[in-house]
Amino acid sequence: MAEKNDRNPTVLITGCSQGGLGFALSKAFANAGCRVFATARDPTKAASLVSDNVCEILPLDVTSKESIDTCVSTVQHETGGNGLDILVNNAGIGLTVPLLDMSIDDAKRMFDVNVWGMLAVTQAFAPLLIEAKGVILNISSVAGAVCMAWQGAYNSSKTAMTFLSETLRMEMRPLGVRVVTAMVGEIETGFYNHGTFSLPPDSHYKTIEAIIRKQSTGEMQVNNEKAWVTARNLVNDVLSGRSGQVWRGAALEKRMGEQSGEDDFDKGDSATCWGEAQFDIDDRSDNDDWDSVALSEGGAPPHSSHSPCDLSAPPNPSIPENELDNMLGLRTAMPAPQPASIAAMGHAPYLPSPCNTPTTITTPLARADLDELYFDRIHAFLPALQRRRYFSRSRREADAASQPYACLQSAMWTLAAAMSSQFQQLCQPLYRETLQRLSHAADAHGLDGTTARLDLARAWILVAVYEFMHASFESAWASAGRAIRLVQLLRLNVVDASGADDEADSFIEKEESRRTFWVVFCLDRFSCVLKGLPLTLSEQPICTRLPCPEEAFQSGKPVVMPFLSEAVAADAPIVVLSPFAESVIFTTLWGRTLYHQQLSAAQLPSCGIPSTDFRDRQLQLNGLVSRRMLQFQQTYSAAAVESDSMLLFTSIIAQTTVLTFCNAAEPSADSVPASDSFIDDVLGYQWRARAAANEIARLADSHSQFSVFKVSIPHTSSLSWNNDRT
């Protein structure tokens, strides 16, 4: 047990019976040096935590106000009035049974524990948490983000819990309390394999009872994550300052793909007696507690699925094997009726997913919503798609059924969900679905066409951006590398080597290719700057024109733009470029300063003093950067920059380029004699670097003027990380 002193964070955990996640969390928090109050409805089921000298055990029934109030008083006394640092709402129960056969009373009881019990405990401990500026960790489930047959009540309770938790996060943040929602997948606990299961004799699902029983008893769950691994990761999440949703444990989607097939379908299996579906608990033990509740042992059904006024049993039709997948909702969800308004918006009707990939977004309305979110919140910073052409392709069956196009759409919806409030729960399921689709597409044959490869390249770009926001740099960089290789394979660096576009359709297709190249070109430079890596894409062989203005792109009106080499030439005429084209130019100059900085660092140890080449490069970059900065400031007023998020982002890139360029001269100054004129140049660079840093800070403050959905989150994150390095 952690020594009791003011430096030990105090933690209270609900649902800590032996063998469950709460039990593992108690040990993990104690190992991290916390003072742990482990609670259970029956404290004897967590007794080994005391015998192992890990934590203190308290009785707590999350559905009893009296029990909750007593627990609060005990904790307040034990902590000496110093509040509670961490509250973990872990207690919960599960229910696996078809909705038509489910007891409403049982479902209400489950909601009382999973939903209202969590909220009641949070309300009661809120004063202690606010006093300590503490943290709430709510243990939800990925089941709340994915629709699964036979678990409708349990999944909906976890969905409700997740939304309550995320609402608490917003409401308690001003009070100084951080809220973390753990979306937990399959973990190795005693949640399953308890009690008996059978359907009522008149159940419509009697012929597939064996499948439902396997899901209820956990026979379908294999290779689950160890509870101590999940607990350790969650403790790290809490203690490292995470907030919002974190996804831990084995993926639910894996389970979905394992639940159908003829081997699992046994028409001859039937039960001779009725027993209501058993309650499963997140923290399983052997006797009655929230950890193990059998509601109706002993025979008589407490609930019938048909009307009590109808004395005759309803017919019990057998279910054809070819209908099993659709009933389970595992491989392809049943298509919802498509409203005429959705069809008019240009969305194709629902089509089966390729390669039996589970489809997370199953309704046309949700897809339409995510499409709109993408073009409203993502396109401005990743402008590689023409809106009208995208919706036109969605209507064409050949495109809509294409694997690469499905990959692109899934990646678009993943990013759109990440930038929404209503689809947050779908981010990770969509992300995993996208990776699965991309894996199938990579293994498929007949994907040599330009359009197919272009769709895959754009899908990998979007995946990389999502991973920069929500995963590790290594994952994002690997995905960016796939996009870069596809762009190289498509030779998008020489799109305009053959001449200009003659027709509007040709212009749109070429412009999409141009923009895909420039997006991945910028992504390459952002990524390399983050870690000081060598650039992947070189400027030398580029024969692709800069992106045209957005209005011309969306209207399909051909506009001839200059090449990059022409735009950055010392004697280039002043041309008004779009914000995206300006960002490409400043990103190019930023990449040049990075290369200059890396080359200088490699040469300085051998030369001892700045070489002539270094000084020439420094002067050349100084002229280019200063000239482009002046042109940009003359083209766009300060008011225009501060009212357009893309221009604001471009301004930050420009100032960061100046900062990086000026900092490149710093190491060289130490080895230069005091009489050398280069010293005066270095002093000037130092002054400009300070001015650039101040301007970056001012521009960053301007982000508060924009809606959170209108700010380039991945790009500004990249810049802030780079500024930490420079």
Give me the residue spans of the domains in the chain: 10-194+223-253+281-293, 331-561, 571-726
Model confidence at 387: pLDDT above 70: yes
pLDDT exceeds 80 at position 2 = no
Q: Output 317 or 167, whichever has higher pLDDT.
A: 167
Is-contact 290 281, C-beta < 8 A? yes
Which residues are CB-neighbours of 165 under 8 A, at least 6 positions away? 118, 136, 138, 140, 179, 181
Assess whether pLDDT exceeds 80 at residue 297.
no
Pick the residue with more confidence: 538 or 446?
538
Whole-angstrom distance, CA of residue 266 vs CA of residue 104: 28
Is pTM beyond 0.85? Reply is no
Q: Which helix (H) or strand (E) holds 259?
A: none
Please tell me the predicted confidence (pLDDT) of residue 389: 92
Rounded-to-integer distance, Cα 363 and Cα 369, Å: 10
More confident residue, 424 or 346: 424
* Residue 156 binned pLDDT confidence (cut-offs 50, 70, 90): very high
In this predicted structure, what is the pLDDT of residue 96? Answer: 86
Given this model, what pLDDT does residue 726 score? 43
For 392-420, what is the mean pLDDT? 85
Per-residue pLDDT, 294: 31
How confident is the model over 553-577, as a mean pLDDT? 83
Between the alpha carbon of residue 72 and those of residues 334, 511, 673, the distances in Å are 48, 63, 70
Sign of CA dihedral 666, 668, 670, 676: negative
Distances (CA, A) of 309 to 343, 395, 587, 624: 44, 49, 74, 86
End-to-end CA distance of the chain: 44
pLDDT score of 171 more than 90: yes
pLDDT, residue 38, reads 95
What is the widest separation between alpha-carbon atoms in the chain? Answer: 107
Structure tokens that stand for 629 in this block: 């900065």
Look at residue 321 in the predicted model and tell me its pLDDT: 40
At residue 446, the pLDDT reads: 54
Tell me the mean pLDDT in the region 712-724: 47
pLDDT band at 217; cut points 50, 70, 90: confident
Strand, coil or helix: 317: coil
d(CA 528, CA 523): 9
Higher-confidence position of 259 and 216: 216
Could you tell me the pLDDT band of residue 521, with boundaries at 50, 70 and 90? very high
Q: Average pLDDT for residues 471-479, to the nearest whole number?
A: 89
306 compared with 550, residue with greater pLDDT: 550
Question: Once rounded to an integer, what is the mean pLDDT over residues 668-673?
Answer: 53
Measure CA 117 to chain center. 28
Annotated catalytic residue 431:
no
Which of 103, 141, 154, 431 is catalytic? The answer is: 154
Collapsed DSSP state (helix, strand, coil) of residue 402: coil
- Range 219-249 burial, b when 16+ CB lie within 10 A, else e: ebbeebbebbebbbbbbebbeeebeebbbbb
- Average of pLDDT values for 444-470? 85
pLDDT in tens, 98-109: 999 989 999 999
- Give me the amino acid identity at 322: N
Mean pLDDT of the chain: 76
Instruction: For residue 567, give both structure tokens.
Output: 């735009």
Q: Which CATH architecture has domain 10-194+223-253+281-293?
A: 3-Layer(aba) Sandwich (3.40)
Residues 6+ apart with CB under 8 A from 98: 149, 150, 152, 199, 203, 204, 205, 212
pLDDT of residue 604: 58
**pLDDT (0 to 100) of residue 177:** 95
**Nearest-angstrom CA–CA distance, 414 and 423:** 9
The percentage of residues in the chain with a pLDDT greater than 90, rounded to a whole number, is 31
Which has more confidence, 290 or 379?
379
Q: What is the pLDDT of residue 725?
A: 45
Least confident of 57-71, 248-262, 396-410, 580-594: 248-262
The predicted model gives 356-379 an average pLDDT of 77
| Model pLDDT, residue 330 | 34
Candidate list 26, 103, 140, 668, residue with the active-site label = 140
pLDDT score at 716: 45
pLDDT value of residue 264? 36
pLDDT at 132 (0 to 100): 93
Highest mean pLDDT: which of 28-32, 161-165, 216-220, 684-688? 161-165
For the ranges 82-86, 205-209, 337-341, which has the lowest average pLDDT?
A: 337-341
Position 687 scores a pLDDT of: 80
H helix runs in 380-449, sequence order: 387-395, 397-400, 403-418, 427-443
Q: How confident is the model at residue 531 (pLDDT cuts 50, 70, 90)?
A: confident
Asked whether the predicted pLDDT for residue 32 surpasses 60, the reply is yes
Our answer to whether residue 312 is catalytic in this structure is no
According to DSSP, residue 665 is labeled T
